[in-house]
Structure 1
Amino acid sequence: MKKKLITAAALLLLVVPGLAACSKDTPAASDTNQGQAASAAAIKQEVTANLKGEPYTLDPAFASDSTSYWVIDHLYEGLYRYDQNGELVEGAAEKIEISPDGKTYTYHIRKGLKWSNGDALTAKDFEFAWKRVLDPKTAAYEPSALYYIEGAEEYNTGKGPLENVKIATPDDYTLVVGLKNPTSFFPKVAIGRPYLPVNPKVVQADKNWAAEAKSIVTNGAYKVSGWEHNNELTLTKNDQYWDKDAVTMETVHFKMVNDATTSYQMYKTGKLDLIDSLPTDVIEQEKGKEEYKTTADFGVYTYTFNTEAEPFNNAKIRRAFALAIDREAITQNITKGDQKAAYGYVAYGVTTPSGKDFRDEAAPYYSYDPAAAKKLLEEGMQEQGWSTLPAVTLKYSTGESHKKVAEALQEMFRKNLGVEIKLEHQEWKTYIDTYKQMNFQIARMGWTGAYLDPLAVLELYTSKSSSNFTKWENAKFDELIEQARVEQDQEKRTKLLHEAEDVLMAEMPIIPVYFYTQNYLNNKKIEGIRYSVTTEPDFRWAKKVAE
């Protein structure tokens, strides 16, 4: 899933001034310069951030969550990459040609590229990686991300042969990709994780190649130099990376501390340089300080219904639960950041041809309305022939904020619907498996768009999407999304996307709760971390300016 063409205006680029040394004597200019150079050289360029938990996987074919993505984005590089200003630029491809009809992309791979183990990296590695994701036997997380390619969907769903997939490598440095339809935003899609290369020799030799530091092989700015599972993951600059000289941060330590209070204390004592999960009771006191950073995310905190599991196989009951939630109370009293209550699914940040934000063009789809919620619940139960609502268990992943939101929902459903629900939480890696297996009635999840476009989040709920864990299918919704994929007139395309959101919010297979805003504490000694609305913080160009 997930990413966009990020403009410089969409970024929060941190610049923290260095500390100046003081002395009674004023040395000569040459002495001063030499001293500063020596001082800078003496500063160990390393940063320690909190990953919060063990990544689900570091194999791009199976990654599905922001924890894994944060690490993967530092380890691999695809045909495209984001530069220091957040612009989408060439990555492993040094030249890209697009046919006049917009359906054929020819990528010229940089010569001399290498994997972290020294193996040569060629166009054939991309072909191998993409076809591996599409192979039904692989059971990759998001093969649908490659359905833009002609023959890809048919092969992945067993309706066509591999030979019909329009991915070809006429030589080691040329990759030719044929699309089903002209797709102007294909570069935004192709920067996604399913499009990242993997080393064929390594993958074929060991099915667990991405599970340990000694066996994982990467092609990006960093490589894995240490991995103490459930405790710490260490990345060091990849000396085989073609643009290694531009990478200023030598070492990245990812700690795995899930408790927000503990990680906050570690930050305050200098054991962490960056945290992105603050205890709710300290947010107010940290706001306004130099080290407190806030970025909007193009994403939404949601709860997902299993629409085939009772009682949420009824749309009125799903909508009743949505109307019973006081979102303003959650954002004001629990999250306490700058999150906005979500009364639709597509987050703020997309400007349409009208000049307005996509979100502002649509009226709220629902409101906090306990009376209407109660009425809908009664109607839904009557339709199902139930005198008593089946027992409900709400599942969420471990974490202070998730726990507080879940407890708030539990109380709101009790108060506003007269429904007692059970809460169940799991650690992240276990929870991801539970969620993917759709072993829930209602479960917490959040989605961030792969790129800054309504399609990036709406397409997650088509019947073909690998990311649709609701079991909800709607032919009209699918049709609208398919039309939006190929519509070249931006006004018509925007209208189609609004209509698709109308269908999604009427059926309510998910409950949007609030639009993400990420709060960080960033050690003022670390400058140049690149923040984005669609990715986790990027350390490649960060620099420690003082010890």
Structure 2
Amino acid sequence: MKKLFVLMITILSLSAVLVACNGKDKDSSDKGKEDGNSSSGKAEKQEIVMNAGSEPPAIDPALATDTTSGWVLDHIFEGLYTRDKNGSAVPGLAEKTEISEDGKKYIFTIRDGAKWSDGSPLTANDFEFAWKHVLNPDTGSSFAFYLYYLVGAEEYNKGNAKAEDVGVKALDEKTLEVTLNEPLGYFETLLTMWTFYPVKEELVAGNENWSAEAKTYVSNGPFKMTAWEHDSEVVIEKNNEYYDKDSVNLDKITFKMVGEATTYYQMYKTGELDFIKSLPTDVIESEKDKDDFEIVPYYGTYMYMFNVEKEPFTNEKVRKAFGMSIDREVLTENVTLAGETPAYGMVPVGADSPEGDFRAVGGDYFEENLDKAKKLLAEGMAEEGWTTLPEVTLLYNTDENHKKIAEAVQEMFKKNIGVDIKLANQEWKTYLETTKAHNFQMARMGWIGLFVDPVVNLDYYLGDSPNNRTGWVNEDFDRLMAESKVEQDTAKRYELLHQAEEVLMTDFPMMPIYFYTNTYLMNKNIKDAAKFVNRFPFMKWAEVTEK
């Protein structure tokens, strides 16, 4: 089964990363509207209810950093590029793309019929404003660094340049000029990220609360938000102003916010929900042979972060002792139960490189070794002058499966290296605020690649990345990552990324646990849901058939 998952991920990731090599001129004929496989027995009521699991912390393209917010955003917005049913980057609002000979300048032509959900025209100016809004230091976007590929973007975001110095400019209402520091082979794929979505300038400028309520929300994707009952549900409905509305079958999607796994599982079984993800581990065995169950690859890493500025994780040897003392095979085979792969590095299986899968080429950076773990723990304590280890609390966001993993890890630390730890949990939004403030010792985190490339996984630990909550800063790591982003020789680029990962795993500011899969239960009457390796199901083409 594990080999099958690796193969599935590799095939899907190839389609995602190789799209940028298709040529310099792209037009709407490349969009690839595949014929659907849906049944002719289309149900009269085209509505579905899915479980988001929690309140989306920020349904704002500039501020969203999590997969829950991103899942909603992907349905209600669209960028210059979007994804086809296979997950490959294809033109979205860009009807035509021209690329200069040196690969640094892009001219995007906005397609005819591009409108906001309120019926007003969407123009190139909206993209220029949106990208500069992300980069504006006052916005406080944690994902601003994804735009640093643009000329002047990093300087503006760090307060050392002006907005007009950034390499994005609307030449007229239909034409957007983008200038990069260096050629970027995966730029079209990067543009599918929500951070690059347009926003309506007259709505957003000077109104930081524009995205807080449905009544003030304007978007441009296949669906539009019509209701948001906080901590309960978000409702989106078909956007009839969307240029490709004929491809959209569903009239309404409701995202429920039920965090307790047993509860949302029962809601699915009673028909209150049409789709759930992350099944309770104790029901996987009974569900795995049913037609509505699926285990899907998911390009991400489940890990525990160490706060290197708080004892005892100020000591590298202590961090490594903790990392070596848990049995990942036991966790994945007896606790998580969804075919996950034990992780001994940051970059998951599924990213291609000239020599093969990046993870396979890089190999494992450490091993589970209890004797060595005990030795490192003793040495680390001696270096710090500790006769007893400072008290440790492991923080995780409220979730039944996270709790089970934390409890298993707690038992392993006690049994394997004689360390008692405490457990604490917080709701997702509070948890994000707590970890962002570095108010923890050891905390659970998952990082899903927003596109399939090692750079997006490793970027998490850049010294100036707002997503790096460990306090760890390493000049060699930052330098190698910077060099990889301008290196035009593909083999050299991947070698730099391998070197960067080695630096990360040598200092050990986090301990990887496993590489993700996702468990789904989806109503069998839902057809043509697109399932990508780094997103939850995308419902643009989905339809409900008769029972």
Superposition TM-score, scaled by structure 2 size: 0.92
* 2:27 corresponds to: none
Contact (CA 8 Å) 1:113, 1:242: kept in 2 or not?
yes
Distance 2:384 2:280 in 1: 42
Contact (CA 8 Å) 1:16, 1:525: kept in 2 or not?
no
Contact (CA 8 Å) 2:17, 2:452: kept in 1 or not?
no
Question: One-letter code of the match for 2:413?
Answer: F
Distance 1:300 1:102 in 2: 32
Contact (CA 8 Å) 2:13, 2:350: kept in 1 or not?
no
Determine whether 1:422 maps to 2:422.
Answer: yes
Cα offsets for 1:511-546 (capped at 9, x unmatched): 110000011011111111110101111011111111
* 1:29 corresponds to: none
Contact (CA 8 Å) 2:17, 2:189: kept in 1 or not?
no
SS of 2:242's equivalent? Answer: coil
Distance 1:497 1:116 in 2: 41
* 1:148 corresponds to: 149
* 1:172 corresponds to: 173
| Cα 1:485–1:8 shift into 2, 3 Å | closer
Cα offsets for 1:253-303 (capped at 9, x unmatched): 111111111111111111111111211111011112211111111111011
SS of 1:227's equivalent? Answer: strand
Structure number with greater Rg is: 1
**1:15 shift after superposition:** 8.7
| Cα 1:6–1:228 shift into 2, 3 Å | farther
**1:16 shift after superposition:** 8.2
**1:118 shift after superposition:** 2.0
Distance 1:183 1:387 in 2: 52
**1:461 shift after superposition:** 1.1
* 2:96 corresponds to: 95
Cα offsets for 1:52-102 (capped at 9, x unmatched): 111101111110111111101001111100122322111111111111111
Contact (CA 8 Å) 1:16, 1:526: kept in 2 or not?
no
Question: One-letter code of the match for 2:331?
Answer: I
| Cα 1:160–1:65 shift into 2, 3 Å | same
Contact (CA 8 Å) 1:50, 1:274: kept in 2 or not?
yes
Contact (CA 8 Å) 1:14, 1:528: kept in 2 or not?
no
* 2:122 corresponds to: 121
* 1:228 corresponds to: 229
* 1:490 corresponds to: 490
* 1:443 corresponds to: 443
Distance 1:449 1:8 in 2: 12
**1:117 shift after superposition:** 1.5
**1:385 shift after superposition:** 2.1
Contact (CA 8 Å) 1:224, 1:235: kept in 2 or not?
yes
Moved over 6 A (4+): 13-17
* 1:63 corresponds to: 64
Distance 1:488 1:365 in 2: 27
Which 5+ residue runs of structure 2 have no aligned equivalent? 1-11, 20-33
Distance 2:493 2:409 in 1: 36
| Cα 1:116–1:439 shift into 2, 3 Å | same
* 1:342 corresponds to: 343
Contact (CA 8 Å) 2:461, 2:467: kept in 1 or not?
yes
Distance 1:403 1:306 in 2: 20
Question: One-letter code of the match for 1:440?
Answer: F
Distance 1:15 1:171 in 2: 36
Distance 2:458 2:204 in 1: 33
Question: One-letter code of the match for 2:444?
Answer: R
**1:184 shift after superposition:** 1.3
Cα offsets for 1:392-433 (capped at 9, x unmatched): 111100011100111111111222222221111011111111
* 2:278 corresponds to: 277
Distance 1:205 1:350 in 2: 40
Distance 1:450 1:132 in 2: 20
SS of 1:214's equivalent? Answer: helix
Trace 1:264-303 onto structure 2 (pairs within 5 A): 264-303=265-304
Distance 2:100 2:329 in 1: 49
Question: One-letter code of the match for 1:92?
Answer: L
SS of 1:150's equivalent? Answer: coil
Distance 1:14 1:246 in 2: 10
Determine whether 1:397 maps to 2:390.
Answer: no
Contact (CA 8 Å) 2:109, 2:175: kept in 1 or not?
yes
| Cα 1:59–1:317 shift into 2, 3 Å | same
Which 5+ residue runs of structure 1 have no aligned equivalent? 19-35
| Larger mean Cα displacement after TM superposition, 423-432 or 182-191 | 182-191
Contact (CA 8 Å) 2:460, 2:467: kept in 1 or not?
yes
* 1:380 corresponds to: 380
Contact (CA 8 Å) 1:143, 1:466: kept in 2 or not?
no
Question: One-letter code of the match for 1:180?
Answer: N
Determine whether 1:409 maps to 2:409.
Answer: yes
Question: One-letter code of the match for 2:525?
Answer: K
* 1:514 corresponds to: 514
Contact (CA 8 Å) 1:107, 1:174: kept in 2 or not?
yes
SS of 1:530's equivalent? Answer: coil
Distance 1:116 1:437 in 2: 36
Percent of residue pairs identical: 49
Distance 1:290 1:88 in 2: 30
Distance 1:55 1:303 in 2: 22
**1:8 shift after superposition:** 11
SS of 2:353's equivalent? Answer: coil
Distance 1:342 1:132 in 2: 37
| Cα 1:531–1:345 shift into 2, 3 Å | same
Contact (CA 8 Å) 1:260, 1:400: kept in 2 or not?
yes
SS of 1:531's equivalent? Answer: coil
| Cα 1:239–1:4 shift into 2, 3 Å | farther
Question: One-letter code of the match for 2:436?
Answer: K
| Larger mean Cα displacement after TM superposition, 161-170 or 172-181 | 161-170
* 2:218 corresponds to: 217
Distance 1:244 1:112 in 2: 11
| Larger mean Cα displacement after TM superposition, 501-510 or 153-162 | 153-162
**1:160 shift after superposition:** 2.1
**1:17 shift after superposition:** 7.4
Question: One-letter code of the match for 1:539?
Answer: M
* 1:28 corresponds to: none
Distance 2:283 2:337 in 1: 9
**1:251 shift after superposition:** 1.0
Question: One-letter code of the match for 2:464?
Answer: K
**1:6 shift after superposition:** 4.1
Contact (CA 8 Å) 1:14, 1:530: kept in 2 or not?
no
Question: One-letter code of the match for 2:424?
Answer: E
